[in-house]
Structure 1
Amino acid sequence: MTLYLLALLIGVVAGLRALTPVAAAAWGARLGWVPLAGYPLAWLGGWIPVIVFSLLAALELVADQHPKTPSRKVPHQFITRVIAGAFSGAVLMMPATHWVRGAALGAVGAVIGTLGGAEFRARLAARFGQDRPAALIEDAIAVIAAFAIFAVAL
């Protein structure tokens, strides 16, 4: 039951930052938090995926600060977050052989995280009178939550 909740939550994180949970999944696989040996996604724990996904996640955090970055609710951004949530949820539940359920829960979580995260950030930005502090808080929540979810999945 706990894995189901974690899969949903990793999807919520994907709704906040699409590549952060994917990078956390790669690190989780690399560090043995999610034992993927013998499964189709075992490649995720290699150094190349860890480095590539970490760099992409870092670039996303930087790009998110740019005022011309499109809304997370535009179709291509929204779809990317749902796919990232589904992938991360599948990774999380693959060792339990429930990867399809994990993918579904991750996708649902991504929808929740995308819509809820946009609302949360808008309200937080309104309180601060500017977007940057809200974006940095959202970044911190996404990074800490993604790694915490994969760490406790062990």
Structure 2
Amino acid sequence: MVFILATLIGVVAGLRAMMAPAAISWAAHLGWLRLGDTPLALLGYSWTPWILTLLALGELVTDQLPSTPSRTVPVQFGGRVVMGALSGAAIGSPSGSPTGGAMAGAVGAVIGTLGGQAARANLASAFGKDQPAAFLEDAVAILAALAIVMVLP
């Protein structure tokens, strides 16, 4: 179950890079994810979820800008994989599997990045413009992140 959740949070990172660590940080801060004795305890500190939430909100805004680069350019793609791996490692840490969680999160981020791009392109084509597809992708990322942290073991 841990690796499935780590993969799924990676998919969220592939859709919106900062949404995954923000959700994980809130889960850790609220005590839903026990990171207190791990190297990732920083995610549960009192100020971390607020900072990551601001970054996630900023990403939701900048994603709507026409000047925002594609999620598949190296920096964007790499950032999503790193955030997916970090978030997956956090999910795996309480059970002693941070490396496996990180690998699952990274794989999920690749799936989310490529799958999200394809789905958004198809939706944008169906809608005749990108903005409704982007808003739908935002909603999927937010709801998926919430669902994942609410079922953490």
Bin for the TM-score computed over the shorter chain = over 0.9
* CA apart distance, 1:68: 0.8
| Cα distance in structure 1, aligned partners of 2:13 and 2:88 | 10
| Cα distance in structure 1, aligned partners of 2:53 and 2:80 | 16
Post-superposition CA distance 1:52-107 (Å, at most 9, x none): 10000000000000011000000000000000000000001110010100000000
Q: Return 142-151 or 131-140, whichever deviates more.
A: 142-151
Residue 36 of structure 1 corresponds to which residue in structure 2? 35
Residue 73 of structure 1 corresponds to which residue in structure 2? 72
Percent identical: 54
The answer for unaligned runs of 5 or more in structure 1 is none
Post-superposition CA distance 1:10-61 (Å, at most 9, x none): 1111110000001001001011110111111112111211111000000000
Tell me the TM-score normalized by structure 1. 0.97
The answer for unaligned runs of 5 or more in structure 2 is none
Residue 110 of structure 2 corresponds to which residue in structure 1? 111
The alignment of Structure 1 onto Structure 2 pairs a total of residues equal to 153
Over the residues paired in the alignment, what is the CA RMSD in angstroms? Answer: 0.7
| Cα distance in structure 1, aligned partners of 2:146 and 2:34 | 15
State whether residues 92 and 150 of structure 1, in contact with CA within 8 Å, keep that contact through their aligned partners in structure 2.
Answer: no
Question: What stretches of structure 1 move > 3 A for 4+ residues in a row?
Answer: none
SS at structure 2 position matched to 1:47: coil
